[in-house]
Amino acid sequence: MNDIVLKTEDLTKHYGGVHALEGAHFELKRGEHVAIMGDNGAGKSTFVRQITGVEQRTRGKVWLYGEKVDFVGPLDAREAGIETVFQTLALADHLDVPDNLFLGREKTKWDWLGPFRLLDYKAMRKDTLDALERTGVKIPNIRNTIERMSGGQRQCVAIARTASFSSKLTIMDEPTAALGVQETAQVENIIRTLKEAGEPLILVSHNMRQVFDLVDRIVVFRRGRICANLDIKNDKYTGEDVVSYITGAKTGEEYMDTAT
Amino acid sequence: MADTSHGTGGLTFDKSKRSWPNELNILLALVIIIVVFEIIGQTAPYMRGQSFLFDTKDRFDSIFNEARLQIIILQVAIIGIIALGVTQVIITAGIDLSSGPLVAATAMIAMSFAQTEFVNGQPNPKALFGAWAMDLPVMIPVVIGLTFGAFIGMVNGFFIAYLRIPPFIATLGMFLICRGIALWWSGGNPVSFPTEQFSALGSGMMPVVWFISLAVIFQLIMSYTVYGKHTYAIGSNEEAARMSGINVKRHKLMVYMIAAMLAAFAGIVLSSKASTAQAGMGEFYELFAIAMAVIGGISLQGGRGSIIGTVLGAMVLGVIRSGFTYIKLDGSYQLMAMGGIIIAAVVLDQFRQRNRV
């Protein structure tokens, strides 16, 4: 049972009359990297928002490592071990890298001082360097504030942040959508490092080449429903196949009844 | 793994690469302003070679004109105490307009528990309460004043953090309420003749001692404690702070309470220094406190600024004030110059923000 990192059953989200997500059955195994693809409005981000507790689902069940979970908010999901890198980065622009990595979970000394307890900068710097090394993130100077960094470096900090707290599941929502070629390569290298470390990952992406380079399996969403589940490890599928699933030219056999 | 880093890349923690702190620019501006006054003083014919900063007449043991140095800082010390709190509020991307009237209200309330029963053998002519409130230990008016400040700050913080009233509106309302309290407290009459102990709080250079000690304490708090880090984080990206598990509402409440307690303390020191409390005290203090923070390089969008910067901002205002007196230009020019400096500070700062690498 615990080989399944994340499982959803009949996961559904309606916004008023709009059926953004309908009956999603999804499974993620230990160490597996899965990509979620689909056209705009196909339900990818809605799906992510339900499992990370950002929104409350209309219907359905979610299990994390075999345990049924009901997150009331993103913090709840985070405490349970789901780390998310959102399209809009949740970083404090005026703070530096260690500050951002440890925001809300600072290492402190003299805890008897309550809210005025001292920050253990030295320990946080050391752990930051360790975390960056582990994820292969390269940042010229960790004392730089986020506002002085390129989009790619910011994304790397956001990813390093998820990776530095031994998360149980990492979710990235279009991590390279706004990045240049070099920066994209840097983020992709981090994802490979996570793969080697056996960290499970859900990657939402539009980039076909990237997905084929990085993940084991592609799940395609169309009009709020999952319409294909493609194991791409054995070169059975090409980018063209995936495109026809996305556009609706093809539908996975097991989804014939439900997908539209 | 392919090397895809930018520039030199690599993992470094290089102290020498830390950016040029904004505070040095303000210090530089301060020095330039002093030099300008010094030059005007030395060259203008009607000044007859008096020095602005140096002791040319051998009145003091040091090379500086100590009397002038003391006045420069003394006249901004009390507003400076308020500015320490306002700085923290602005760093969270808020604003506090209620501090000036809060100074007056706290002065009235604290002073009425600090009165002495007999003035030169006669009963205190300004006595507000009966004999029970006379000649109390100094801690009582101080604690009452600070508690009142904390309460006002709590109300501010509650409306801003929990009911999401814009800080400008919430503290504008409190601005009027506090001025009202100050007038209502004694029916508009001054409250005067404090005990000796109470007078000692603000006599001589005591306001400067309070200002500098509190500035040091809060600079340390803002740089080295969780409270400080969370204050910056909230101002920088409130959503990110919330997502990181910071209790943003409770933290904001605490920031507004601390700011109001600092303003209340300024009110106590001011009434002690003046030996009287009047409902009209502290007029425009809130705006001068904001001006000090702004000259000190704070961003009204939040996330940026420091206590040291605000202290330097206070010094700039202090130098301008005594500088204009020194070159014998009257108050109207002072106000115009201060206004110009405030705008120039922000223009220069934006220029700097845009042009940095």
Task: Say if residues B178 and B105 touch (Cβ distance below 8 Å).
Answer: yes
Q: Report DSSP letters for A183-234, one per residue.
A: HHHHHHHHHHHHHHTT--EEEE---HHHHHHH-SEEEEEETTEEEEEEE-TT
Residue A191 has pLDDT above 60, yes or no: yes
pLDDT digits (tens, 9 = 90+) for B63-91: 778 888 888 899 899 999 999 999 999 99
Task: Say if residues A15 and A183 touch (Cβ distance below 8 Å).
Answer: no
pLDDT of residue A45: 86
Domain ranges of chain B: 21-38+61-351
pLDDT of residue A250: 80
Lowest mean pLDDT among A18-22, A161-165, B282-286: A161-165
Would you state the structure tokens that stand for residue A106, as one six-digit string? 């600072």
Q: What is the DSSP letter of B54?
A: B
Most distant pair of Cα atoms in chain A: their distance: 64
Banded pLDDT at A236 (limits 50, 70, 90)? confident
Task: Tell me whether residues B235 and A192 touch, CB distance under 8 A.
Answer: no
Nearest-Cα distance to chain A for B6, in Å, is 8
Rounded-to-integer distance, Cα B189 and Cα B128, Å: 9
pLDDT of residue B356: 57
**Is residue A260 assigned to a domain?**
no
pLDDT of residue B107: 96
pLDDT of residue B355: 65
**Residue of chain A with shortest Cα separation from B4:** A186
* Residues in chain B within 8 Å Cβ distance of A154: none
Nearest-Cα distance to chain A for B258, in Å, is 12
pLDDT of residue B325: 85
Quick one: average pLDDT of A105-113? Answer: 89
Low-confidence ranges of chain B (pLDDT < 70): 1-19, 49, 355-357
Cα dist from B239 to A88, A170, B31, B233, B236, whole Å: 10, 20, 40, 9, 9
- The amino acid occupying position A230 is L
Length of chain A: 260
**Is residue A248 assigned to a domain?**
yes
Q: What is the DSSP letter of A111?
A: G
Chain B contacts in chain A segment 169-228 (CB below 8 A): 182-183, 185-186, 189, 192-193
- The reply to whether B95 touches chain A by the CB within 8 Å rule is no
Spatial CB neighbours of A144, under 8 Å, sequence gap ≥ 6: A96, A97, B17, B19
What phi, psi does A254 have (nearest 5°)?
-70, -10
Q: How many domains does chain A have?
A: 1
For residue B170, the tally of other CB atoms under 10 A from its CB is: 25
pLDDT of residue B97: 96
CATH of the domain at A40: 3.40.50.300
Residue A138 has pLDDT above 80, yes or no: no
- The reply to whether B8 touches chain A by the CB within 8 Å rule is yes
A125, A182, A185 ranked by CB distance to B13: nearest: A125
Task: Say if residues B341 and B87 touch (Cβ distance below 8 Å).
Answer: no
- The reply to whether A115 touches chain B by the CB within 8 Å rule is yes
* Residues in chain A within 8 Å Cβ distance of B226: 106, 108, 115-119
**Is residue A214 assigned to a domain?**
yes
A104: domain range?
A: 4-255
Cα dist from A193 to A98, A130, B187, B228, whole Å: 21, 14, 73, 35
Rounded-to-integer distance, Cα A176 and Cα A158, Å: 12
**Residue of chain A with shortest Cα separation from B225:** A118
Chain B contacts in chain A segment 49-88 (CB below 8 A): 74-75, 78-79
Is it true that domain B21-38+61-351 has CATH number 3.40.1130? no
Residue A235 has pLDDT above 50, yes or no: yes
Q: Which of B306, B231, B238, B224 lies closest to A108 in space, CA to CA?
A: B224
- The reply to whether B4 touches chain A by the CB within 8 Å rule is yes
